[in-house]
Amino acid sequence: MKARRVSTHSTENKTTRTKETRSMSKLTNKVAIVSGSGRGIGREIALKLASEGAAVVVNDLDAEPAEAVVREITTMGGRAVACVGSVTEADFGTRFVGTALQTFGGLDIIVNNAGYTWDNVIQKMTDDQWSAIMDVHVTAPFRILRAAADYFRETSKQEAEQGREVFRKVVNISSASGVIGNAGQANYSAGKAAINGLTKALAKEWGRYKVNVNSVAFGLIKTRLTEAVAGEGHATIDIAGNEIKVGVNPQLMKNIEATIPLGRGGTPAEAAGSVYLLCIPESNYITGQVLVVGGGRP
């Protein structure tokens, strides 16, 4: 059997095609920051934005997953850098925005994605549970957006003086729990409802700066936080020294999926696609909206 001849130009041609594709992408020359993007939905958002040409600041609590996503992006010919740390740190917003400005020279897209659930019925919910969830889902996005305000305002003013209309994007990640509520999630439901309120307020404040501010409220998306866990055992994650149970009983998962018109939970890639829709030029006249992404289930 003849040995297959491999062209010495195959890798070069593939790289050239990748660069040409990226140059024609909708987010070419845009800079995005995505919190909580080392894993799950956040990772898929970072990869999607990068695949469409955006330079991305990747964030995670831990350095390893953040750097892994950076490597994925740079390997496919994109630009990325990690900003490791907890979004709940008082100076994180300034550091996150500063990383984009210092590394890539601008900021066009903010995705406030970082978060988790810490569930309990209200009579058993501690102050720590309440505060932790409000901090990560409301206070942290507020600080990140506040840190970006001066850049958005000054840059928009300069562009207006030049006769240019340039749109920037904020996508806050909410949940169906923040739209219709969910038993056992008083803290999470309140936090996700609050981010919708922040979204609507900033859409009015920042419209003059040509910043579109929207929320995406996810229904059931299959990630490590929602994956089925059989028996009495539970998977856990460690957040600031707190061991938090995650995962869903398989029968409960089956029951939930039976109520979804499309018949199943969504994938992280599908979730990322909905965020991408609110980052492209076609969404320039959409602001102050909450997009429910739940397969037809409110």
Q: Read off the pLDDT of each residue in 226-255 and give the average, rounded to a whole number.
A: 66
Percent of the chain with pLDDT over 70: 85
Secondary structure (DSSP) of the chain: -PPPPPPTTHHHHHHHHHHHHHHTSTTTT-EEEETT-SSHHHHHHHHHHHHTT-EEEE--SSHHHHHHHHHHHHHTT--EEE--S-TTSTTHHHHHHHHHHHHHS---EEEE-------B-GGG--HHHHHHHHIIIIIHHHHHHHHHHHHHHHHHHHHHHTT----EEEEEEEETHHHH--TTBHHHHHHHHHHHHHHHHHHHHHGGGTEEEEEEEE--B-STTT-B--SS--EEEEETTEEEEE-B-HHHHHHHHHTSTTSSPBPHHHHHHHHHHTTSGGGTT--S-EEEESTT--
Can you tell me which residue has the tokens 């059997």? 1
Distance CA(55)–CA(31), nearest Å, equals 5
- Exposure string over 5-15, b if 16+ CB within 10 A, otherwise e: eeeeeeeeeee
Instruction: Tell me if 168 sits within 8 A of 212, measured CB to CB.
Output: yes
pLDDT of res. 164: 97
Is the model's pLDDT at 16 over the cut of 50?
no
The stretch 191-196 carries a mean pLDDT of 98
Give me the pLDDT at residue 6, please. 40
Decide if pLDDT at 17 tops 90: no
Q: Does residue 188 carry a catalytic annotation?
A: yes
Whether the pLDDT of residue 63 is over 90: the answer is: yes
Beta-ladder partners of 169: 109, 212
Is residue 23 scored above 60 in pLDDT? no
Write the pLDDT tens digit of every residue in 197-216: 999 999 999 999 999 999 99
Residue 191 in this model has a pLDDT that exceeds 90:
yes
pLDDT at position 176, please? 96
Residue 127, classified by CB atoms within 10 Å of its CB into exposed (0-12), middle (13-18) or buried (19+), is: exposed
- Predicted pLDDT at 216: 98
CATH class in words for 31-224+268-293 = alpha beta
Domain boundaries, the chain: 31-224+268-293
CB 19 within 8 A of CB 44: no
Instruction: Tell me the mean pLDDT in the region 192-200.
Output: 98
Task: Give Rg (Cα) of the chain.
Answer: 20
State yes or no: pLDDT of 231 exceeds 60. Answer: no
Burial pattern 270-291, b for ≥16 Cβ within 10 A else e, equals bbbebbbbbbbeebeeebbbbb
Report the distance separating Cα 59 and Cα 70, nearest Å. 10
Q: What is the pLDDT of residue 4?
A: 41
Catalytic residue among 116, 151, 188, 209: 188
Q: Residue 249 — very low, low, confident or very high, per pLDDT cuts 50/70/90?
A: low
The 10 Å Cβ neighbour count of residue 177 is 23
Q: What is the mean pLDDT of residues 163-184?
A: 97
Whole-number mean pLDDT of the chain? 90
